[in-house]
Structure 1
Amino acid sequence: MKQIAIIGECMIELNGKPFGEMHQTFGGDSLNAAVYLSRSCELNANPNDIKISYVSALGTDAISNGMLTRWQDEGVNTDLVLRDEQRTPGLYLIQLDDQGERTFLYWRNQSPARYLLQHPQFDDIAQALQSVDLVFLSGISLAILPEEDRFTLLALLTELRQQGVEIAFDSNFRPALWPQNEALATVKEIYTAMYQTTDLALVTFDDEQLIWGDATPQDTLVRMQKQGVKRAIVKLGSDGCLVGDFESNAEYAVPTTPVETVVDTTSAGDSFNGGFLSCYLAGGSLTESCQRGNAIAGVVIQHRGAIIPKSATDTVTKKRLRNCHVYD
C-alpha cells in the first residue's frame, strides 16, 4: 500500500453573491485535492492500495466535527488531524464572474490550521510522516503559517526527503495571504527553499508567471530545474499541461479536451492534483497521470463549488480514462 499525507487547511466555504443567495459548504486547496484523490482511486485496478491522510488542525465545535465526518465519508483518513479547543475553522467567500473565474475573501487569521505546528501534539505528526511514501502541500499550506513555522516546516520536509519520503508541491499563489509590503520577496525566498526539497512540482503557469515573471511555460521548467525540482508539471488550463522530467531530460505537452461550458474554476488545479496523484501513486506514467488530472478537472469545472457531488465525478470521468493502464 502507498501512503500519502496532505498538509493544509480546510475552511467553511460561502459561495454566491454578497447579501444575496449563498451556498455554504467546506473547502480548501489541499483538502479538495485529498477528496478528488480519494474519488479518483476508484479508477485504479486496486482502489484501496493508496492510503490518504490529511494533516491539519480543527476545532472541537459542531462545524469542525461535521467536517471531520464528511472527510471520513470521502475516504480520507483523519488520524493526523489535531483538535484545538481554543479556535474554530476559518471562512472564505467565493465570488464568480460571468466566465466562471473567481475572487476570494478570507477570514482565517485565528484558524486552528494556522497554528498546526505549535500544537502540543505536532511532534507525533512529524514522527508519523516518516512512514509515508509521499507528502503533498501547497503554497497556501505555507502562506497561512506564522513566519517561523514556515521555516520549521521546510526543515521537516528536508529531513523527510533525506529519509526517502517523496515531496510534492503546488505553488498555488494567493497574494492576499502574504505580507503586502514585501509579498513577492517573501514568496520567492520561501518558494526557492521549497523547490530545493521538491521531487514533484504540480504548478499553474499563471501563478509562476506572476511570481517569477516567466515569459513561457518552458521558461518555468528551465527555472524549476535550476532550483532543484526533479519533475515538474505546469498546468495550462484549457491547453492541458507541460511536463518536465529532468532526470530523463524529457519535456513534452499533454493536451486536454476543451470544456464548452465552464461554470466554476474554483477547484480546477486541486482536482487535477488529486487525479494526477491517484494515477502517479498507482504506478502510472507522468503522461497517464496528467491525462487523468486533465479529465477530472474537466468534469469539476462544469459544476459550482470546490467539491462537487460525487456522482458527477464517476461515470463521465471513467469514460474518458480507458487509456490509462491503471484503470480497471
Structure 2
Amino acid sequence: MKHIAIIGECMIELNGKPFGSMHQTFGGDTLNAAVYLSRGCEANLNQDDIKVSYITALGADPISKGMLERWQQEGVSTNLVLQDSQRTPGLYLIQLDDAGERTFLYWRNQSAARYLLQHPDFNQIKQALRTVDMVFLSGITLAILPEQDRIELLNILVELKTQGVEIAFDSNFRPALWPQDENQTVKNSYQAMYTLTDLALVTFDDEQLIWGDSSPEQTIERLTALGVKRCIVKLGANGCLIQDATIQGDINPDSGTASAPRAVPTLPVEHVVDTTSAGDSFNGGFLSAYLAGEDLTKSCQRGNAMAGVVIQHRGAIIAKELTQAAITAI
C-alpha cells in the first residue's frame, strides 16, 4: 500500500452574495486535493492500494467534528488530525463574477491549523511522517504558518527526504498571505522548498507572478535547475506541460540537459461555473493515478478530466457522483 500524507488547512466555506443567500460547506486547497485523490482511487478500484491521510489541526466545536465525519466518509484518514480546544477552523467567503472567476475574503489568523506545529501532540505527527511514502503540501500550507514554524516544517521535510520520503509541492501562491516585501519572503521559502521537491505540481500564472517567468518552459527550466525531478506546469484551459528528468528519454545524452517538455492537452469546457478548486482537483486526480503507478502523461490526463468536471459546478468540493464518471472515462 502507498501512503500519502497531505499537510494543510481546511476552512469553513461560505459561497454566495454578501447579505444574500449563502451556501455553507468546507474547503481548503490541500483538503480538496485529498478528497479528489480519494475519489480517484475509489473510482479506479484501487482504494485499498493507496492510503490518504490528512494532517491539520481543528477545534473541538461542532463544525470541526462535522468536518472530520465528512472527510472520513470520503475515505480520507483523520488519524493525524489534531484537536485544539482553544481554537476553531478559519473561514472564507467566495464571491463569483459572471465568468466564474472568484475573489476571496478570509478570516483565518487564529485558526487551529495555523498553530499546528505548536500543538503539544505534534511530535506524534513527526513520528508518523517517517512511515509514509509521500508528503504533499502547498504554498498555502507554508504561508499560514508563523515564520519559525515554517522553518521548522522545512527542516522536517529535509529529514524526511533523506529517509526516502517523496516530497510533492504545489506553489499555489496567494499574495495576501505573505508579507508585502516584493515577494522576497515567498521567494526564499519557495526556493528552499523546491530544493526538497521531487514532484512539482505548479500553476504557470503563480510562478510567473512570483518569478517573472516568460513561459512555462522557463518555469520548468528553473525548477529542474533546483533539483526537481518531475515537473508539471498547469496551464488552465491549455492543459499542462510536463517533464520527467528520471526518464532517460527526457535527458539529452550529449549535453546532459533536459529535453523539451511535453504538452498534455485537455478537453475544452464550454460552460465554466466556478474555478475555485480547479488546481486542487487536478492535483487529486493526478496523484490518484501517479501513486497507482501511472506515468506523468496518464496522470495529467486524469487530473485534467477531474478539473474539467469540477469547474462546471459550484463550490470547492462537488457531489461525488459528478466526479466518478470523469475518472472512469480515462
TM-score, normalising length from structure 1? 0.96
1:95 corresponds to 2:105: no
Q: In the alignment, which residue of structure 1 is the partner of 2:178?
A: 178
Which residue identity is paired with 2:111? S
Distance in structure 2 (CA, Å) of the matches to 1:82 and 1:314: 30
> Which blocks of at least 5 consecutive residues in structure 1 are unaligned?
322-328
What's the CA shift string for 1:113-154, capped at 9, x where partnerless?
Answer: 000000011011000000000000000000000000001000
Q: In the alignment, which residue of structure 1 is the partner of 2:256?
A: none
Distance in structure 2 (CA, Å) of the matches to 1:274 and 1:317: 11
1:254 corresponds to 2:264: yes
Q: 46-55 or 191-200: which moved more? A: 46-55
Which residue identity is paired with 2:10? C
> Which blocks of at least 5 consecutive residues in structure 2 are unaligned?
252-258
Q: In the alignment, which residue of structure 1 is the partner of 2:311?
A: 301
Q: 1:48: how far off?
A: 1.5
Q: 208-217 or 42-51: which moved more? A: 42-51
Q: 1:230: how far off?
A: 1.1
- When residues 152 and 316 of structure 1 are mapped into structure 2, their CA distance, relative to the original with a 3 A threshold, is closer
- When residues 18 and 143 of structure 1 are mapped into structure 2, their CA distance, relative to the original with a 3 A threshold, is same
Which residue identity is paired with 1:254? V
| Alignment: residue pair count | 319
What's the CA shift string for 1:77-115, capped at 9, x where partnerless?
Answer: 000000000001100011111110111110000000000
Q: In the alignment, which residue of structure 1 is the partner of 2:159?
A: 159
Q: In the alignment, which residue of structure 1 is the partner of 2:113?
A: 113
Q: CA RMSD for the aligned pairs?
A: 0.9
Secondary structure at the counterpart of residue 283 of structure 1 = coil
Which residue identity is paired with 1:265? T
Distance in structure 2 (CA, Å) of the matches to 1:247 and 1:178: 33
Which residue identity is paired with 1:313? T
Q: In the alignment, which residue of structure 1 is the partner of 2:300?
A: 290
Q: In the alignment, which residue of structure 2 is the partner of 1:225?
A: 224
- When residues 235 and 72 of structure 1 are mapped into structure 2, their CA distance, relative to the original with a 3 A threshold, is same
Q: 1:43: how far off?
A: 3.1
Distance in structure 1 (CA, Å) of the matches to 2:225 and 2:149: 26
Q: 1:311: how far off?
A: 1.2
Q: 1:247: how far off?
A: 2.9
Distance in structure 2 (CA, Å) of the matches to 1:287 and 1:311: 25
Secondary structure at the counterpart of residue 89 of structure 1 = coil
What's the CA shift string for 1:282-305, capped at 9, x where partnerless?
Answer: 000000000000000000000000
Matches within 5 A, 1:58-69: 58-69=58-69
Distance in structure 2 (CA, Å) of the matches to 1:317 and 1:84: 36
Q: 1:315: how far off?
A: 2.4
Secondary structure at the counterpart of residue 228 of structure 2 = coil
Q: 8-17 or 44-53: which moved more? A: 44-53
CA contact under 8 A between 2:305 and 2:326: conserved in structure 1?
A: no
Quick one: percent identity of the two aligned structures? 73
CA contact under 8 A between 2:240 and 2:263: conserved in structure 1?
A: yes
Q: 1:316: how far off?
A: 4.1
Q: 1:183: how far off?
A: 4.9
Q: In the alignment, which residue of structure 2 is the partner of 1:145?
A: 145
CA contact under 8 A between 1:44 and 1:282: conserved in structure 2?
A: no
CA contact under 8 A between 2:44 and 2:327: conserved in structure 1?
A: no
Q: 1:20: how far off?
A: 1.2
